[in-house]
Chains A and B, each alone.
Chain A
Amino acid sequence: MTLMAEGVTVRFGGILALDAVSIEVQPGQVASVVGSNGSGKSTLFNAIMGFAGLASGAIRLDGRAIHELPAHRRVQLGLCRTFQTPRIDPESTVFDAIRSGGIMSLKSGLFAACLATPRGRSEAAGIDHRTEKVLEELRLAHLALARMGELPVGTIRLIDVGRAVMGKPRFILLDEPAAGLSHAEQDALKAQIRRLASEGVGVLLVEHNFRFVSDVSDHLTVLDRGRVLGSGRPGEVSKRPEFVRSYLGSFAGKASAAASPRAADTAAKAPAVMPMPLMECRKVTARYGGIRVCFDIDLDVPQAGVVALLGANGAGKSSLLGAISGLVQSTGSITLDGQRIDGLPAHRRSECGICFVPEIRGNIFPAMSVAENLELAQRRLCAQALDRMKAELEQMFPRLSERRFSPACMLSGGEQQMLALAMALSLKPRILLLDEPTQGLAPAVYDTLEAVVRAIVGNGIGVVLAEQNAAFAARLANQVIIIADGRVSLRTGAEILGDRERLLRAYLGAEPQEAA
């Protein structure tokens, strides 16, 4: 009576996404998987559910190998999952969204549905009844008729859990269910998870919110770059150094001593609050369609200074940067050098000097060569400026000229990050928005990256740095803003780096919300 993954290995092209990972969930147990971005948590879910093929290993349910079965058969056998990015139809009602989780349990088919036979109707009524029950358990009954698109992301996640529960699963896999949930919603979710476990359902949880994880889990597995780093009871695991490293950034432990003085240096050069910020954001709220992902955020960016946005995955950092750059729908005001820019389309904001480097190097053109990428970014420069820019970049990123003719997608992660920064600089930005520049990079690159960002700041550019890797961010930052659940949870100077306990608390959303 267990769900087991045995030595699961998954490859995407040449990349080893999971390397012989084994994990086990018992009925009535809550097991969690934690790990940084790109550690393979979602891939593990996909492998268990049948959305990703195994290179080797096995998935067993009650001892029976199920990894040859198509995904929907596995669901029918009693596995169920939620998605990290909720997959919703914004037009459907909450009631319908939850109800759809129960459809596979229908015994009557098409004819019953078309003819509305008594049996079909009673089955439908049964599903409706269960839906109502789940709504009540989640304390969402008042929202039954609301459209999914109008709800905040936290509520949507909760609904997604309800949808999974509807299928009466024996094992339920929750992919970051607590990201973006308010405390009250988190409590409702915790209660729901505990109830499920007490009813004998096995729960496998992937979650960044460590407080949440430690509250509900019986067992914890730490994944790091596709491998199991360690496992055990939550209380024990969180004390192990490898966990802290994986969670706060790979060199947090070793760097903390060295980083503080450097950060303090920078802080001394540029005071935490500039008298006249270069960019001011007031009450910025970002939304995708109808889903709001961060709320009323104020942000000032000084010239030649670094503001670090910290927070767990899904806290709303990227959305805020997207909102500032014009790629994500938003409300609130954004002023650059006294000029309102919030009404402009993204490419106009780029011309004004707002330059965004999205996560995973989202500003480069993978199919085009390095030279073409740079030419595109430099196309507005006059001949003189172009020569100067080329010389500057040559000096800053010597690797890039060596690889100028290879397509960007063939570069290593570190080289791609350099290209992404080079392209951003080519646009002559005044404000640079960096989203998780360290994501997926080997720690060896961190020092280079740090030097580059320092050089950029030295040129008088204001930088907003969104990072999960707190240690890396804090080495550069003049000001640190910690975002949890789409809201500012702590606003402080770089000195917080010295106080790892407090940083961890704020980071995990345990710090009291910012006093307005």
Chain B
Amino acid sequence: MRRRPALLPAATVVALAVLAAPLITGNLFWLDTSALMAVYALLALSVGVSFGLCGILSVAQASFAALGAYTTAILSTRYSLHPLVGLAAAIVLPAVFGYPFARLIAGMSHLALAVATLLFGHMLDIALREGGDFTGGYIGLSGLPPVPGPDSATWLHVASWGMVALVAALLGSLYASPYGAGMRSVRNDPMRATADGIDIGHMRGVALSVAAGIAGLGGWLYAHHVSYLGPESLGPAVSISVLLMAMVGGVSTVLGPIVGAVALTLLSTLLPGAEAAGMFYGGTLLLVLLAAPKGLTSLPALAGAQRGADAGKENGR
């Protein structure tokens, strides 16, 4: 088995979504949570493509999602266009923006790039607030049409996880392809990649463009699911939390970011809330990072590797 199993992540997503369906349909709160998890999963997948696959530590994924979300929100409220028109625009606009943006920032070190993208998020946030009636300003846009399709609880679950599964399938195929291997080598070793004849600037642009498109899709789902969109909805704080999700799940696999999104959303839902919420959430996060710094999906492999290392040590002594 030389090929990475391209469709396995997507199949896993479908299987889990089907398994979870009976628990979720009939319970609107969990349905809501499930749709939100799907939004976060898409955003975390976007982190996966930009950072996990191509090594661009962008902390602006929620801002790309906001670009997509505002696009569809403005199209559907101001111009009364169908959400499906908005869907295309919400994916294309961030994707088109992502390429030159990546070329602009690609020369920075990891840390500078992270800071720069975070600042970009803040700037977009301010621009949206000051956008007046066009963006809804500080108050935001409300009354967005729902996700198109039958008005049933199950449909939302099917539609949102269907999107995640579709993206996972496309990414699974990308990750397994030689093209994906090229992106991975840009992440692992830009110099080596150059010596392989890869135009690393172009590759980074493509990766961030794809990532922004996926984030835009997440933004679309967010906008039409929540039906309200304000500057805080998909702000820099969300960018940081989806980065956490991707890292907690395992950033370099297709399934990892999805697992991370589900795990951390569950965590914030189940842990006690109010003033002390941050202590529980932050504390659990630290424990998870200590236990599995390469992500939850790496845990089985990690246990194996640890055993191997211990065995090696014993042999050495």
A–B contact with Cβ pairs below 8 Å: the answer is: yes
Going nearest first, the 4 A-B pairs with the smallest beta carbon separation are A331-B316, A104-B197, A75-B197, A113-B179
Chain B residue nearest in CB terms to A127 = B178
Interface residues of B in 175-214 (CB under 8 A from A): 177-182, 184-185, 188-189, 191-192, 194-200, 206, 210
Given the interface pairs A89-B189, A115-B173, A116-B6, the reply to whether A332 lies near B198 with Cβ below 8 Å is no
Interface residues of A in 357-378 (CB under 8 A from B): none
Q: Is the CB of B195 within 8 A of A75?
A: yes
Query: What's the least CB distance linking B297 to chain A, in Å?
Result: 14
Chain A residues within 8 Å of B210, by CB: 110
Given the interface pairs A114-B174, A145-B2, the reply to whether A163 lies near B196 with Cβ below 8 Å is yes
Q: Is the CB of A103 within 8 A of B189?
A: no
Interface residues of B in 145-189 (CB under 8 A from A): 170-171, 173-174, 177-182, 184-185, 188-189
Q: Is the CB of B197 within 8 A of A167?
A: yes
Q: Which of B2, B195, B206 contacts A71 (CB 8 A)?
A: B195
Chain A residues within 8 Å of B177, by CB: 112-114, 116, 120, 124
**A109 close to chain B: CB less than 8 A:** yes
Given the interface pairs A99-B181, A100-B181, A100-B185, the reply to whether A72 lies near B174 with Cβ below 8 Å is no
Query: What's the least CB distance linking B215 to chain A, in Å?
Result: 16
CA distance A128 to B182 in the complex (A): 14
Given the interface pairs A99-B181, A113-B179, A116-B6, the reply to whether A167 lies near B196 with Cβ below 8 Å is yes
Q: Is the CB of B206 within 8 A of A100?
A: no
Given the interface pairs A114-B173, A114-B174, A128-B2, the reply to whether A100 lies near B196 with Cβ below 8 Å is yes
Chain B residue nearest in CB terms to A343 = B317
Q: Is the CB of A87 within 8 A of B189?
A: yes
Query: What secondary structure prevails in chain A residues at the interface with B?
Result: helix
Query: What's the least CB distance linking A364 to chain B, in Å?
Result: 26
Q: A residues near B, CB below 8 A?
A: 49, 51, 70-73, 75-76, 80-81, 83, 87, 89, 92-93, 95-96, 99-104, 106, 108-110, 112-116, 120, 123-124, 127-128, 144-145, 163, 167, 331-332
CA distance A76 to B193 in the complex (A): 12
**B27 close to chain A: CB less than 8 A:** no
Contacts beyond the supplied A51-B195, A108-B179, A110-B206: 10 A-B pairs with Cβ under 8 Å: A73-B199, A80-B195, A89-B185, A92-B184, A93-B2, A103-B196, A106-B179, A114-B177, A331-B312, A331-B317
**Could you jot down 11 A-B contacts, CB within 8 Å?**
A51-B194, A71-B194, A87-B189, A103-B178, A103-B182, A110-B179, A115-B173, A120-B177, A145-B2, A331-B316, A332-B316
Chain B residues within 8 Å of A124, by CB: 177-178
Query: What's the least CB distance linking A61 to chain B, in Å?
Result: 14
Q: Is the CB of A99 within 8 A of B178?
A: yes
**B306 close to chain A: CB less than 8 A:** no
Chain A residues within 8 Å of B192, by CB: 83, 87
Query: What's the least CB distance linking A282 to chain B, in Å?
Result: 12
Query: What's the least CB distance linking B314 to chain A, in Å?
Result: 10
Given the interface pairs A89-B189, A100-B185, A145-B2, the reply to whether A110 lies near B198 with Cβ below 8 Å is no
Chain B residue nearest in CB terms to A104 = B197
CA distance A331 to B314 in the complex (A): 10
Interface range on chain B: under 10, 10 to 19, 20 to 34, or 35 or more? 20 to 34
B2, B184, B189, B197 — which one has the most chain A CB atoms within 10 A of its CB?
B197
CA distance A500 to B188 in the complex (A): 45
Q: Is the CB of B198 within 8 A of A103?
A: yes
Given the interface pairs A100-B181, A127-B178, the reply to whether A81 lies near B195 with Cβ below 8 Å is yes
Q: Is the CB of B196 within 8 A of A114?
A: no
CA distance A80 to B79 in the complex (A): 54
Interface residues of B in 7-54 (CB under 8 A from A): none
Chain A residue nearest in CB terms to B313 = A331
Chain A residues within 8 Å of B171, by CB: 114
Query: What's the least CB distance linking B8 to chain A, in Å?
Result: 14
Chain A residue nearest in CB terms to B7 = A116
Query: What's the least CB distance linking B201 to chain A, in Å?
Result: 9
Chain B residues within 8 Å of A100, by CB: 178, 181-182, 185, 196
Chain A residues within 8 Å of B197, by CB: 72, 75-76, 80, 103-104, 167
CA distance A331 to B179 in the complex (A): 39
Chain A residue nearest in CB terms to B200 = A72
CA distance A95 to B177 in the complex (A): 13
Chain B residue nearest in CB terms to A96 = B181
Given the interface pairs A113-B177, A120-B177, the reply to whether A95 lies near B2 with Cβ below 8 Å is yes
CA distance A344 to B179 in the complex (A): 45
A71, A80, A103, A112 — which one has the most chain B CB atoms within 10 A of its CB?
A103
Chain B residues within 8 Å of A76, by CB: 197
Against A, the Cβ 8 Å flags (1 = close, 0 = not) of B279-317 are 000000000000000000000000000000000100111
Chain A residues within 8 Å of B191, by CB: 51, 87
